């Protein structure tokens, strides 16, 4: 579990088709790093397989490379790094699992008097369904608040404060660059409980219930919600 508050930047290099090496010089992250620990790399939860003096080696699966931008990223852009949340630590962002839903693409980054307004496009329904106005979203592992979006979630904007912009790899992104996106885990559970997902729920007898096309007052009344 992570918070979406980036601790430092690093560089990512491929060692093989199944292993990557992350290099960084931040002692705060490396000091307590141990074999088996989880680290969010651009929002992707990776497990430390080997500790190095200046970083670590992690394994990556075909699913990780297919769903995230790790395998198709601009190697000149540094990666955002965050160690996993420890019990008792401050939670300043939102709950980020490191399980990326899919990719988005930067459309524009416009400086304003108080922030950077960044707009992203989303082509993956697995991500778009969880994008709501004023909701939380992780972009390359960064906890951000959706300022605006369309009903389908095919695009959204965020207002990024200068500190976040300069301390993360958002400052290096150019229009068209691919980013990792993770929707709010709370929204996913709400969707599951309300039967809004693609998965078919089962009753106590193990039989499939029919899903409604959308939630309606009649459906809620029938199931005891009204």
Answer yes or no: do 128 and 165 share one domain.
yes
Instruction: Give tens-digit pLDDT for 146-165.
Output: 999 999 999 999 999 999 99
CA torsion, ordered 122, 127, 128, 129, to nearest 10 deg: 170
Tell whether 218 is covered by a domain.
yes
Tell whether 88 is covered by a domain.
no
Tell whether 166 is covered by a domain.
yes
Is the confidence at residue 207, as pLDDT, over 60? no
Domain that holds residue 61: 8-83
Q: Band the pLDDT of 197: cuts 50, 70, 90.
A: very low
Tell whether 33 is covered by a domain.
yes
pTM for this prediction: 0.83
Answer yes or no: do 55 and 110 share one domain.
no
Tell whether 91 is covered by a domain.
no
Domain boundary among 26, 48, 83: 83
Percent of the chain with pLDDT over 70: 86
Q: Band the pLDDT of 116: cuts 50, 70, 90.
A: very high
Instruction: Find all residues with CB under 8 Å of 13, minimum gap 6, and list them.
Output: 20, 21, 23, 75
Number of domains present in the structure of the chain = 3
Domain boundary among 83, 110, 140: 83
Alpha-carbon distance of 18 to 16, in angstroms, equals 5
Is the confidence at residue 210, as pLDDT, over 70? no
User: 184 with 135: CB under 8 angstroms?
Assistant: yes
Is the confidence at residue 65, as pLDDT, over 60? yes
Question: E-assigned strands of 24-167?
Answer: 38-41, 44-52, 55-59, 79-83, 102-111, 116-122, 136-139, 142-149, 155-160
Answer yes or no: do 56 and 30 share one domain.
yes
Tell whether 209 is covered by a domain.
yes
User: 176 with 108: CB under 8 angstroms?
Assistant: no
Phi and psi (nearest 5°) for 81? -125, 135
Q: Give the SS3 label for residue 2.
A: strand
Q: Domain holding 50: CATH number?
A: 2.40.30.20
Answer yes or no: do 44 and 66 share one domain.
yes
Is the confidence at residue 33, as pLDDT, over 60? yes
Answer yes or no: do 177 and 202 share one domain.
no
Answer yes or no: do 70 and 116 share one domain.
no
Tell whether 48 is covered by a domain.
yes
User: What's the confidence (pLDDT) of residue 200?
Assistant: 52
């Amino acid at each position: 579990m992570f918070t979406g508050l980036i601790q430092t930047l690093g560089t990512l290099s491929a060692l093989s088709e199944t292993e990557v090496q992350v290099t960084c010089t931040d002692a705060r992250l490396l000091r307590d790093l141990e074999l088996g620990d989880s680290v969010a790399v651009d929002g992707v939860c990776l497990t430390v397989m080997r500790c190095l003096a200046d970083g670590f080696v992690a394994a990556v699966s075909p699913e990780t490379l297919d769903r995230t931008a790790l395998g198709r990223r601009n190697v000149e852009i540094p990666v955002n790094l965050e160690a996993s949340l420890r019990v008792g630590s401050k939670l300043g962002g939102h709950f980020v699992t490191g399980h990326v839903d899919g990719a988005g693409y930067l459309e524009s980054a416009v400086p304003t008097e108080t922030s950077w307004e960044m707009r992203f496009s989303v082509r993956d329904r697995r991500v778009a369904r969880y994008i709501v106005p004023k909701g939380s979203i992780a972009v390359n592992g960064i906890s951000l608040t959706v300022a605006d979006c369309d009903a389908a979630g095919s695009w959204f904007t965020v207002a990024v404060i200068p500190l976040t912009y300069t301390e993360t790899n958002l400052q290096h992104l150019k229009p068209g660059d691919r980013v990792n996106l993770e929707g709010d885990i709370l929204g996913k559970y709400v969707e599951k409980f309300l039967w809004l997902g693609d998965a078919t729920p089962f009753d106590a007898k193990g039989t499939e219930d029919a899903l409604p096309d959308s939630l309606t007052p009649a459906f809620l009344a029938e199931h005891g919600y009204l």
